[in-house]
Amino acid sequence: MKKYTCSSFRILLTGTGLVFLLLLLTMVLSNAVILLGVRLGFIVGKPDSPLIPFLIQSGLISICVGTVLTFVLSRVPLRPVNTLIRAIHDVAGGRFNTKINLKHPREFRELSESFNQMTAELAGIEILRSDFIANFSHEFRTPMVSILGFAKLLKKGNLSREEREEYLDIIIEECSRLTALSSNVLNLSKVESLSCLTDVTVFQAGEQIREAILLLEQKWSKKNITFDLDIRESTLSGNRSLLKQVWVNLIDNAVKFSPENSIITVRTEICGSHFLFEIRDQGTGMDEATCARIFERFYQADLSHATEGNGLGLSLVRKITELHGGSVEVRSIPGEGSTFTVILPAWRSLPRRAE
């Protein structure tokens, strides 16, 4: 607040001083011209006439009146500036809900609208940051507590072989969960930091999708899940490594929420200038509220955390598809499963990276 007061005072003093000097200079020059005219005879009067005291008196009065008027009038145009300075210091102090309402003139109104838009975006970023830290801390702490607890039990040494094997399996599983969490966080951070595609290559999408399915064979074979494939040979242009994460995350998500002995349908096709990837499962499905939030970071429809995952996979899918100029959407009916659709520009129409 002290810093704001000093800045405001300096601006006010500078403006007042400039206006005052202008008025003072005008008055002095005017009186000098009049006095010179009297002395040279251009103006009727003598130096010792009452005109001289009159000019002195009028000058002193003009100085006093000009000072008061300048001080009062200079505060009017500086008031919006003072309001803006105060708001800027509030934002610098972390109060991102600060708003200003300057209506006149038009330039100040536009400045007010831009400032309010900036603070709204900063407030949204701050909320996302806080939520990210809270969610990451929770997701990280849970497996760590589990690992610590079972490690202490193993240290006792009075366990049967079966118990030791069970506890070790749990520790391995929780370590894998931490590895997946850190990997997804790093991948998401990497994708969000990219402003354009890098390492762009041309490759067969169908071949890569089949590789992703085989990569997860251990998971879907345990649940005796069958894949119904309608994968047409399609050529894509993009970051091959990033797009592989899209297919792996979507297939893994479908396997995760599919019941045993169910069918997962995967199909691809070219629709005009776009490539379409669709995966449909026979899981429990989602309501509209869940579908609206399913791509948010750390959001999990299963609040009990009974299923594996950390809520980052689908967020990563959306970021990667958007980076490739595409989109991802979900359709779901509770009790009937979910369908995820990825739409990407066909490789011939993919915008080239700016030189």
* 313-317, 322-326, 346-350: least confident range: 346-350
**Confidence band, pLDDT 50/70/90 cuts, at residue 26:** low
* 10-19, 78-87, 134-143, 208-217: least confident range: 10-19
> Tell me, what's the pLDDT at 303?
46
Domains and CATH numbers, the chain: 2-95 (no CATH), 121-193 (1.10.287.130), 200-345 (3.30.565.10)
**pLDDT(266) > 50:** yes
* 153-157, 188-192, 276-280, 284-288: least confident range: 188-192
* 17-31, 40-54, 130-144, 320-334: least confident range: 40-54
Q: Are the C-beta atoms of 184 and 135 separated by less than 8 Å?
A: no
**pLDDT(86) > 90:** no
> Tell me, what's the pLDDT at 268?
92
> Tell me, what's the pLDDT at 17?
64
Q: Which residue has the higher pLDDT, 180 or 261?
A: 261
What is the pTM for the complete model shown? 0.56
Give residue 341's identity as a one-letter amino acid code: T
How far are the Cα atoms of 188, 193, 225 from residue 236, in angstroms, in the given order?
22, 23, 28
Q: Which residue in this structure is represented by tokens 């399609």? A: 234
What are the tens digits of pLDDT across the range 50-76?
656 655 656 665 666 566 656 665 555
Mean pLDDT of the chain: 75
What are the tens digits of pLDDT across the range 199-238?
788 888 889 999 999 988 888 999 999 999 998 888 888 8
Q: Which residue has the higher pLDDT, 199 or 275?
A: 275
- Radius of gyration, CA atoms only, the chain: 36
> Tell me, what's the pLDDT at 315?
83
